[in-house]
Amino acid sequence: MSRELDPVQQAAVEAPPQPLTIICGPAGSGKTQTLAARAQRIDGTLLSAAASSDLAGIEALALDFLRSTGERDSPFELIDDIEASIIFEQAAEPLFALEWAEVIEAEIDPELAGLRAPQHFLENAFRLIQRLRESCIEPDQFLEISLKGATSFYAQPPNLAHPDLLYYTKDAYRGSLQVDRAELQRQHRREVDLAKVLHKLYQAYLELLAKKRVLTAADAIAEATRRLKAVPPTAQEDSLLIDDAQELKWSEIAFLQALRGDTLQGVTLCGDRESTLGLFAGARPDRVFTLRGERFELTTQYRCAAAIERAARHVSAAPDSRPLPAQRGSIAIYRGPTKADEAQFIAAHVNELLRSVAARDIALIFRSVANVFEYEAALLAKGIDVQVAGDLNIFTVPDVVDALALLWNVNNPFAHEWLLRTLSGPAFNLSDATLIALCTEPGTPQTALFAADEVPPEAERQPDLRRKLRLGWNVVRGDQDDALSPPARERVREFRALREQWLHDLESLSLPDLTRKIFAEGLAARGNPQSARAKSQQRNIQRLLRRIDDYAVRYPSASLAEFLDYALLRAESTLESCEEEREDGAIKVLSTGAVVGREFDHVIIGNVRAGSFPRWYVPDAFLFSPSLGMIAKENVGDVQAARTAKFTYYMFQKKTRDRYNKEERRAFAYALRRARRSTLVTASGRATRGATTPEFLNELQAAGVPQASIRTDLMRSATS
């Protein structure tokens, strides 16, 4: 909501563009509005450091610079982190094939943390290397710091029996501190070997990126910074204005300084240190807000009601002496016995709100929307259109999985888990009895078991081919048609005819056109065309089609089988996210990462229980410290403790669990402050004691936040 700027905001808008300008203030103080007005006044470029923002990110500047420095003939292509992880796995193939000379010559012990589980090792190694890139640490520098850190720690180990250390460490991990000199020497050798392996992986990954001429956003920033440092910064006429500057990473700050000088002339940074959501992802608000420049402090809270602001301050536990806002509003809490009950309560609450406000003014916020299907289903059952955005993996959404199943049916009918999903789904709706019949050996002995030229190559290596191929042949060839009821037989034949036509189209249509034809002919509409359920299905299918279009542009000669393998990789990734489409008619269900900079009249924060919001702290297998070097979590070999002594000590020294919980508190307070008029906070099940992870709902209850209530007739209609 726009409003007149106050004197401090107006002064920030009119400040000269040349020195570094910093606009800071709490959530709801009008920072973004001020920044937008300043950008219009000085005709500057508006960017954002938040990944979910509609504005371009810092990587856009880096790419523009790279394209302007001789990359026109053979330009770099921007890829996302998931495709980068695939390239990283390719770089690691020689390691797991034991082809590295160091491994063959036994210079490196192959018995390293994580190597027994290659996928786990690669995921953690890739995350570490991402962090190194974002911290401007190159491979050789990483190895040097790791070796120095290992020598420093193991040459003079800290007191591992210190009472404070023992008190901080959970009982299950105290055994890791009971080590002698020999065990520490063994862990030292393993750590050095691990650092050497990761150093070589890091180098191989960067070489493969350069060979393929691709870059992630972080890689683009790192490469642009490297090139800029080779030449002195030139005077820049245009101004840069960066929103959500508290999320800037070390590499992004270094790039901006390489571009505009250490003093960041002509740059305006806008943010709030207490709104940082990405500390554990590399954000450096400590660096941003200690930069020297002309500073404008916005102190007035214009968005939230006093009750909501009071609750946010209570949970965040951050000192705040500013006066509470004068706006009137409400906040309430609700804990249901089960998640289903909680979902129904939310649906009834939203239904009641929709009697007086528009859908665009309501938002459901979760810490993560990776698995909010139960909440979404409760809303759809009430006829409420829903759009989920944030850290949702679109390749795991049921509507999308149904669509992918059809593609698998065309590509490989012997992938029976996909075939069963299609046949039992709403399009063909075969009963369990029919599916059992289709999985049964044909009764006619003369029926050939299989045609040799049609057996998929992978099936030839599998035992018991009769069982492995039976369903596929019965569906594709009709060997069991006579055993089916007339309606079931008709549906199977309809599917068979469609599949044969799709196979014919496979030869003539492009991948995007083929998939659109298959989805149009083979997917059953979920509900009436204008129903909330049908709109949700179409929205999910359109998201999948956009990804297919992007894949076809990037790999124009790729086959359907190659895309399906690609889809499987993305479905297994934790890096996938789902874009938001700004539709006024749908209730937004957003993760905290996707709600940055947004505000709504009414906010519901769901699934607020330990393990969900806040999330459990699960540290990565590989950590890195500028002073201690590499820190491997997992111990290996003939040892009694699962964790290394160094990792347990590092957890105590840095108080990582406490820092993580503090970030979760900031995220929850941030979600609360998205509301202008009312907030409902819900949870389900029994609360924990809050010993290691806080219980926000209990804290709000102790602070006097009232229990939510809703008319019984609405709740009854929600559950019927």
Question: What CATH number is attached to the domain comprising 415?
Answer: 1.10.486.10
Residue 463 has pLDDT above 50, yes or no: no
Instruction: For the chain, give the mean pLDDT.
Output: 87
Phi and psi, residue 414, nearest 5° = -95, 0
Number of H helices, E strands in the chain: 27, 15
Instruction: Answer whether residue 576 is part of any domain.
Output: no
Residue 663 has pLDDT above 70, yes or no: yes
Domain match, 566 and 596 both: no
Average pLDDT over residues 188-201: 89
Specify whether 102 is located in the same domain as 250.
no
The answer as to whether 577 is a domain residue is: no
| Res 456 pLDDT > 70 | no
Could you tell me which of 540, 666, 680 has the C-alpha nearest to residue 600?
A: 680
Evaluate if residue 71 carries a pLDDT over 70: no
> Which tens digits make up the pLDDT trace of 301-323?
888 899 999 999 999 888 777 77
CB 691 within 8 A of CB 616: no
Q: Average the pLDDT over 668-684 and give the result.
A: 95
Are residues 437 and 486 located together in one domain of the fold? yes
Does any domain span residue 543? yes
- Extract the tokens encoding 104: 């063959």
Flag whether pLDDT at 656 surpasses 70.
yes
Q: Rounded mean pLDDT of 109-123?
A: 67
pLDDT of 113 strictly over 70: no
Per-residue pLDDT averaged across 614-634, rounded? 90
| Residue finishing a domain among 267, 302, 337 | 302
Distance CA 529, CA 252 (A): 46
- Chain centroid, CA 519 distance in Å: 27
Lookup result for tokens 């705040």: 320
Res. 446 pLDDT band, cuts 50 70 90: very low
pLDDT at res. 458: 47
The domain that holds 603 is classified in CATH as 3.40.50.300
pLDDT at 565 over 80: yes
Length of the chain: 720
Measured from the Cβ of residue 425, the count of other Cβ atoms closer than 10 Å reads 18
Q: Is residue 353 part of a domain?
A: yes
| CA distance to 509, 606, 607, per residue, from 339 (Å) | 45, 10, 8
Q: How far is CA 220 from CA 79, 134, 206, 227, 367, in A?
A: 10, 11, 12, 11, 29
Model confidence at 560: pLDDT above 90: yes
Q: Same domain for 364 and 255?
A: no
pLDDT of 116 higher than 80: no
DSSP H or E stretch at residue 278: none
End-to-end CA distance of the chain: 38
Residues 198 and 245 in one domain: no
d(CA 359, CA 379): 12
Reduce the secondary structure of 197-218 to three states and give it as a string.
HHHHHHHHHHHHHHHHCEECHH
Any idea what DSSP says for residue 507?
Answer: T
**pLDDT digit string, tens, across residues 206-242:** 999 989 988 898 989 998 998 888 876 666 668 899 9
What single DSSP character describes residue 707?
A: B
Structure tokens belonging to residue 78: 């921007």
Cβ-proximal residues to 184 (8 Å cutoff; 6+ apart), any chain: 154, 157, 645
Judge if 99 and 117 occupy the same domain.
yes
Distance of alpha carbon 410 from alpha carbon 476, whole angstroms: 10
Q: How confident is the model at residue 233, as a pLDDT?
A: 60
Q: Do 62 and 197 fall within a single domain? A: no
Q: CA 375, CA 339: separation in Å to the nearest integer?
A: 8
Residue 106 has pLDDT above 60, yes or no: no
pLDDT in tens, 689-712: 888 899 999 999 999 999 987 755
Query: Among 447-461, 562-576, 692-706, which is the least confidently predicted range?
Result: 447-461
Residue type at 603 in one-letter notation? V
DSSP 689: -
Angle at 570 between CA 569 and CA 571, to 5 degrees: 90
DSSP string, 150-211: HHHHHHS---TT-HHHHHHS-GGGGGGG---HHHHHHHHHHHHHHHHHHHHHHHHHHHHHHH
Query: Does 378 score more than 50 pLDDT?
Result: yes
**Residue 104 confidence class, pLDDT cut points 50, 70, 90:** very low
Q: Give the mean pLDDT of 359-386.
A: 94
Mean pLDDT of all residues in 388-403: 94
Strand partners, 365: 590, 605
Conformational region of residue 115, where left means phi above 0, alpha means psi within -120 to 50, and beta covers everything else? alpha
pLDDT of residue 450: 47
Please identify, among 273, 302, 331, the residue that sits at the C-terminal boundary of a domain.
302
The tens digit of pLDDT for each residue in 42-69 reads 998 999 988 777 788 898 888 888 888 7
Least confidently predicted of 80-94, 114-128, 402-416, 575-589: 114-128
Q: Identify the H or E element spanning 16.
A: none
Percentage of the residues of the chain whose pLDDT score is greater than 70: 89
Q: Degrees (nearest 5) of the Cα angle 568, 573, 575?
A: 140
Do the beta carbons of residue 87 and residue 205 sit within 8 Å?
Answer: yes
pLDDT on residue 581: 81
Domain presence at residue 2:
no
User: Apex CA 621: angle with CA 615 and CA 626, to 5°?
Assistant: 100
Q: Is the pLDDT of residue 374 over 50?
A: yes
Q: Which residue, 285, 302, 319, sits at the end of a domain? A: 302
Q: DSSP string covering 50-114, please?
A: STT-SS--HHHHHHHHHHTTT-SSS--EE--HHHHHHHHHHHHHHHHTT--HHHHTTSS-S--TT
pTM surpassing 0.85?
yes
Structural domain of residue 21, as residue ranges?
7-77+217-302
Cβ neighbours for 236, distance < 8 A, ≥ 6 positions apart: 259, 260, 265, 266
402 and 390 in a common domain:
no
Alpha-carbon distances, residue 354 vs 308, 340, 372 (angstroms): 21, 21, 21
| Angle separating helix axes 217-229 and 250-260, nearest 10 degrees | 40
Statement to judge: residues 417 and 524 lie in one domain: yes
Domain co-membership, 511 together with 543: yes
What are the residues facing 476 on neighbouring strands?
Answer: none
Q: Is residue 599 part of a domain?
A: yes
pLDDT band at 70 (very low <50, low <70, confident <90, very high): low
β-partners of residue 386 are: 587
- Could you tell me if 246 and 317 lie in one domain? no
The per-residue pLDDT for 454 is 52
| Residue 1 lies inside a defined structural domain of this protein | no
How many domains is the chain built from? 4
Residues 207 and 238 in one domain: no
Tell me the per-residue pLDDT of 325-362, one tens digit each, with 9 for 90 and over.
Answer: 878 889 999 999 999 999 999 999 999 999 999 999 99
CA distance 511 to 517: 10
3-state secondary structure 327-367: CCCEEEEEEECCHHHHHHHHHHHHHHHCCCCCHHHEEEEEC
Q: Is residue 359 part of a domain?
A: yes
